[in-house]
């Protein structure tokens, strides 16, 4: 019968299933559930850019905050900053308020709290923003006839072979830029691919585990301000803890060790802030040198411009102005823009403007999704061939040999195959019948 053929139930009763109505999923086998799930997942979906992001970043507040994959270390950094300040304000500052007149002791505590809040704000400005991520292409760029410095074997997926480097002019000097196979683009000068975040970052300096983010063109200024302000905070707490120790020594006429015993929190903070000041102070001095010479940490350790000309060095004054007073460029990524993800994994923008890639892709091909799709299609073709073979047997009026089979066995279409056929719009077998009875 058409549109409502009888299918034999598992409990002996008979149930009516329409060939175009999906069957309940609890009656499917595990293999067919996986096949149907893969096909359903590969349908076009409307997502935002941060939801279809291929990097390792972690997004918060609907894509408004962008963190690195090791954002958990940010909580450790906040703890290392806040705990000493709380101890200083709770124990050390009380004696300072009593010893200093004209409310000077209150000002000491207020300044410490304001400086701490300033450091925390700079920490979030460094960690929770786009450091300068370059959107990856969805297809390899065309070879524009640039000079090839080495043989490039190419890629089986990329199609035509591309040179590994290109020569570009920077301030009259030739600089080689590399091709990134992950992002499928030629990196701009001073750009590098971060293996932790899995992104190409403009003016890549380093990946800082203490802030859980890459340090690049759009957050380097805040990173330096954070490090230098933390140094000032450490020296501030160290200085007033030492002042407290000296006042105890003068008041009680004791040596330094007895003073430490009378105010153990001051002694602990002196030791702690002294060690931290060496660490962040040294880091501040190192980045001051990099700023004055217009280098990045990556370039300093990799290229060593001491023995050769640095094409980016514009002089100490201009280098400082470039870092602290130049306009921070806007992000090249619109993380909240809507895209349509099709069955091949390609995310097509749903609105005008640059979203994922600087140019519209010529073809959409995702290797991982393509592999999963191929496996699912192969399994589905096997099921389809079984349906076609059953239909052919019914048309020719023959029955395959089943010497050792039970005589009661029949060639009826299982509910799993029926649901797959209904899901993908197939017509299994003839239109007038969908099973071959044992009496045929």
Total residues found in the chain within this entry: 440
Radius of gyration of the chain (CA): 34
Rounded CA separation 352/360 (Å):
11
- Give the SS3 label for residue 436: strand
Rounded CA separation 66/47 (Å):
17
Candidates 208, 214, 234, 241; catalytic one: 208
What are the beta bridge partners of residue 206? 215
User: Dihedrals φ, ψ of 115, to 5°?
Assistant: -65, -35
Rounded CA separation 351/224 (Å):
37
Rounded CA separation 189/249 (Å):
58
Q: Residue 235 corresponds to which tokens in the numbers above?
A: 């020296």
Nearest-10 Cα torsion for 35, 41, 43, 48: -170
- Tokens 């923003």 — which residue? 129
- Give the SS3 label for residue 184: coil
Rounded to a whole number, what is the distance in angstroms from the first to the last CA of the chain? 17
Q: Residue 434 corresponds to which tokens in the numbers above?
A: 């969908």
Rounded CA separation 87/52 (Å):
44
Rounded CA separation 133/185 (Å):
13
- Tokens 């509910």 — which residue? 415
197 is catalytic: no
Q: Residue 269 corresponds to which tokens in the numbers above?
A: 């903070």
Chain centroid to CA 267: how far?
42
User: Which residues participate in catalysis according to the annotation?
Assistant: 208
């Amino acid at each position: 019968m058409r549109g409502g053929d009888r299918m034999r139930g598992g409990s002996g009763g008979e149930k009516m299933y329409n060939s175009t109505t999906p069957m309940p999923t609890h009656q499917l086998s595990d293999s067919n559930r996986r096949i149907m799930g893969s096909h359903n997942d590969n349908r076009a979906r409307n997502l935002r850019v941060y939801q279809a992001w291929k990097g390792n970043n972690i997004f918060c507040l609907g894509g408004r905050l962008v963190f690195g994959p090791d954002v958990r270390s940010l909580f450790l950094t906040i703890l290392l900053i806040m705990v000493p300040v709380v101890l200083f304000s709770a124990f050390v500052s009380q004696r300072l308020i009593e010893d200093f007149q004209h409310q000077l002791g209150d000002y000491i505590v207020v300044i410490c709290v304001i400086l701490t809040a300033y450091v925390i704000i700079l920490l979030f400005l460094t960690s929770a923003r786009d450091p300068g991520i370059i959107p990856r292409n969805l297809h390899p760029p065309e070879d524009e006839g640039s000079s090839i410095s080495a043989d490039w074997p190419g890629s089986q997926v990329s199609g035509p072979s591309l040179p590994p480097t290109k020569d570009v002019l920077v301030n009259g000097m030739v600089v080689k830029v590399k091709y990134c196979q992950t992002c499928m683009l030629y990196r701009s000068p001073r750009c590098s691919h971060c293996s932790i975040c899995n992104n190409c970052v403009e003016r890549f300096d380093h990946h800082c585990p203490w802030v859980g983010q890459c340090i690049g063109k759009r957050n380097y200024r805040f990173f330096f301000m954070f490090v230098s302000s933390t140094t000032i905070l450490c020296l501030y707490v160290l200085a007033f803890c030492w002042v407290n120790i000296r006042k105890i020594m003068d008041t009680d006429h004791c040596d330094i060790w007895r003073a430490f015993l009378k105010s153990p929190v001051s002694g602990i903070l002196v030791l702690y802030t002294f060690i931290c000041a060496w660490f962040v102070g040294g880091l501040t001095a190192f980045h001051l040198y990099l700023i004055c010479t217009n280098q990045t940490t990556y370039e300093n350790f990799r290229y060593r411009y001491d023995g050769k000309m640095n094409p980016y060095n514009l002089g100490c004054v201009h280098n400082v102005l470039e870092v602290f007073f130049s306009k921070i460029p806007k992000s090249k990524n619109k993380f909240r823009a809507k895209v349509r993800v099709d069955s091949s994994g390609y995310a097509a923008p749903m609105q005008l403007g640059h979203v994922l890639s600087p140019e519209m892709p010529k073809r959409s091909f995702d290797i991982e999704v393509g592999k999963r799709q191929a496996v699912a299609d192969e399994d589905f073709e096997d099921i389809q061939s079984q349906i076609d073979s059953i239909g052919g047997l019914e048309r020719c009026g023959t029955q395959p040999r089943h010497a050792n089979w039970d005589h009661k066995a029949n060639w009826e279409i299982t509910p799993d195959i029926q649901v797959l056929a209904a899901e993908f719009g197939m017509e299994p077998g003839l239109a007038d019948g969908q099973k071959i009875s044992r009496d045929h």
